[in-house]
Structure 1
């Protein structure tokens, strides 16, 4: 059965409010959205102007609050994914497990389209990708010189080194973190096809944290425990 109650007209609303003068006492939010003109001729009164400013400010605060809530939810999800990655690294028993854990988590959990994990070793390792430290510094020395994570648009030869020749024309921007703990162990890079995604001013707290945990984990495996099957 549908509701056949006729809508209230303005006179009925006014009569009801006259009988309930305290209706707005605990409903200040309704007052903020009401439009009550106070004007004589073409002149807008100070009261109406103040109400308009308060209404605009209220809308702006609501927008800011909604944005902060979205950021908080994104940070919660990022923290949870990072926590699981760290725990998986702590449970890793081989160098192969460490490499696959990082690469799989970044690609599938964090949805990073391009991941580059390169370890520095004087002889080729049977797991993952490895180069000598001298070779790495020759190609991407500028990215490693500061010892901190950097982000932005990289040069073609840097992209080729980090992500492979096939991806150098596809990566628009990247973030790069050296793996440093009691010596330089390698480099971890993540990339996006969007040139604006990893801006030079973008915070790299997340990538730095993962790189720090990974650097300490790698010390548990000075040499690979087993080869790739």
Structure 2
């Protein structure tokens, strides 16, 4: 409390308030917002006045509405801040030059902005293209072609927190419902799904969010895990996660060939 406030409370008396109200009879008309906070007894003996009861109920509702409004304002500010951070992330993902950078940006942002303890990705290799049918060549041309060095097959280096599996891997069946719904699912995944995404050591996962990545075909799955069972409980809002999943799906679809990981 500031010194001037302490002095004022000591000097101001009931008579001072009465004189002020007498000189300003329109005070409560001009300041009606203070009325619900005042306690004005209505003498009715041992019975409770209906008016007093109504005022008490209205005061309680007013307090509840004020708290709700305060909470809504807080959520709106948090969502606005999150929207701005995701906007920056989207710009960085669009301009990322390689798959490693895309994954690193995504994992770091999800851990920071959604309070995830860990983030894992499961990506499906790009389906190999069918070889083009070539016309029959002469024996001389075939001999020249045979002497050329065979092209070196590129492979994708390992990426932290990411698995890259064949495009027809059995994991597709595990997440068929996720791809069918085409939206983020919160809750606790099955043992098989957790093992596929996180590995065998997943006993500390209490809740998770699964984000499908697909554009014309399944591209992969992102999982956000938490040791808090309420963090990604079923029924949580997933609007921002859905938007991010859709953006990532488009980026991966236009990225190019996703190759298998190099095995050391």
Q: Is the structural similarity TM-score above 0.5? A: yes
The range that moved more, 195-204 or 176-185, is 195-204
Give distance in 2, aligned partners of 1:35 and 1:203: 41
Matched, 1:126 2:161: no
Q: Quick one: distance in 1 between partners of 2:39 and 2:257?
A: 74
Once residues 108 and 45 of structure 1 are traced to their aligned partners in structure 2, the CA distance between those partners, rounded to angstroms, is 55
Name the counterpart of 1:152: 187
Equivalent residue for 2:200, pick from 152, 161, 165: 165
Cα RMSD (Å): 2.4
What are the equivalent positions in structure 2 for 1:44-55 lying under 5 Å apart? Answer: 44-55=48-59
Deviations 1:40-97 (A, max 9, x none): 2112222222221221121111011101101101111211121111111111111222
**1:182 maps to 2:216:** yes
Q: Are the counterparts in 2 of residues 125 and 224 from structure 1 also a CA contact under 8 Å?
A: yes
Q: Which residue of 1 aligns with 2:241?
A: 207
* Change in CA separation of 1:59 and 1:108 when aligned onto 2, cut-off 3 Å: closer
> Does the 8 Å contact 2:118/2:224 carry over to 1?
yes
Structure 2: gaps of 5 or more residues: 129-154
C-alpha change, 1:24 and 1:12, in structure 2 (3 Å) is: same
Residue 205 of structure 1 deviates from its aligned partner by 1.5
- Which has the bigger relative contact order, CA under 8 A and spacing at least 6? 2
- The residue number in structure 2 matching 1:19 is 23
Once the two structures are TM-superposed, the CA of residue 157 in structure 1 deviates from its matched residue by: 3.0
Task: State the alpha-carbon separation in 2 of the partners of residues 164 and 200 from structure 1.
Answer: 22
2:216 aligned with 1:216, yes or no?
A: no
Cα distance change, pair 27–39 in 1 and its aligned pair in 2 (3 A)? same
Where does residue 30 of structure 1 map in the other structure?
34
Unpaired stretches in structure 1, ≥5 consecutive residues:
none
Name the SS for the 2:233 alignment partner. coil
Measured in 1, the distance between the counterparts of 2:186 and 2:20 equals 62
Kept in 1: contact 2:179–2:214 (CA 8 A): no
State how far apart, in whole Å, the 2-side matches of 1:110 and 1:147 are: 20
In 1, the alpha carbon distance for the partners of 2:73 and 2:113 equals: 22
Shift of residue 204, structure 1, vs aligned partner:
1.8
Task: Tell me how far 1:141 sits from its aligned partner.
Answer: 4.2
C-alpha contact 1:114 1:163 (8 A) present in aligned 2: no
Aligned to 2:150: none
Q: Specify the alignment match of 1:78 in structure 2.
A: 82
CA distance in structure 2 between the partners assigned to 1:137 and 1:185 by the alignment: 10
Kindly tell me the number of residue pairs found equivalent between the two proteins: 225
SS in 2 for 1:44: coil
